[in-house]
């Protein structure tokens, strides 16, 4: 197999990599973000209810355009995340000011919302799926080899306990920003769950 080495950028499996993490994220997410917005535009002329806009358009047609890059790359900068949120609510309210609080819309129908996708929770869930796959012994993908040495002291057969001390240690031991982001997200999510359970 022949490789063409480059110090600029290279593309594989649909992702373009550069020598800078943030530039890599932006180079891949921005075109997908435009497709995401264009999807909303193609539905703009249809008279849909809030319920129709949420599961039908957002979850079925729009969000899938972002899922791949959000899964395999670190999260985009906050301004991009806010742009995603703005596009969603602009579509929900037909470009007009919000009529219902955003925190209310993400609630279940039983609690007066429309179960609108919470983008922050959505990003956390995507990152946490890597931990689930890592801990699944039936998955024998080669990518696991890259993380086994780093994670072996934190893994039990059924869990991954990531404390703040471990995160601080890993920041010194590895430059794998993607891995750090996954572990940081997992730590935040599990901590929040523990807090909710104990309260």
Query: pLDDT tens digits, residue range 115-163?
Result: 999 999 999 999 989 888 887 888 888 888 877 776 766 655 445 666 6
Quickly list H helices, 136-176. Answer: 145-151, 164-173
pTM, entire model? 0.82
**Regarding beta strands 155-156 and 159-160, do their DSSP bridges make them parallel or antiparallel, or are they unpaired?**
antiparallel
C-alpha 98/C-alpha 95 separation (Å) is 9
pLDDT in tens, 27-39: 999 999 999 999 9
pLDDT category at 105 given cuts 50, 70, 90 is very high
- Total length of the chain: 199
Say what the pLDDT of residue 157 is: 47
pLDDT(175) > 70: no
- Residues 6 or more apart whose Cβ sits within 8 Å of residue 46: none
Closest alpha carbon to 69 in 29, 35, 38, 23:
29
Closest alpha carbon to 26 in 12, 40, 15:
15
């Amino acid at each position: 197999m022949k490789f063409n080495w480059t110090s600029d950028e290279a593309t594989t499996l649909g992702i373009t990599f550069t020598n800078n993490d943030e530039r890599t994220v932006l180079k891949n997410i921005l075109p997908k973000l435009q497709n995401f917005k264009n999807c909303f535009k193609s539905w703009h002329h249809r008279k849909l209810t809030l319920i129709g806009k949420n599961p039908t358009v957002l979850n079925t047609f729009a969000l899938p355009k972002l899922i791949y890059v959000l899964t395999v790359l670190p999260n985009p900068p906050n301004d991009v995340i806010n742009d995603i949120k703005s596009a969603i609510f602009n579509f929900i309210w037909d470009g007009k000011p919000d009529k219902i609080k955003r925190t209310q819309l993400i609630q279940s129908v039983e609690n007066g919302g429309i179960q609108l996708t919470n983008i922050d929770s959505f990003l956390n869930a995507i990152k946490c799926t890597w931990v689930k796959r890592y801990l699944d012994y039936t998955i024998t993908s080669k990518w696991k080899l890259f993380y086994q040495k780093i994670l072996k002291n934190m893994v039990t057969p059924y869990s991954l306990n990531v404390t703040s001390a471990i995160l601080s240690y890993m920041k010194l031991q590895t430059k794998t920003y993607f891995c750090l982001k996954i572990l940081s997200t997992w730590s935040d999510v599990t901590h929040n769950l523990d807090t909710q359970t104990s309260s």
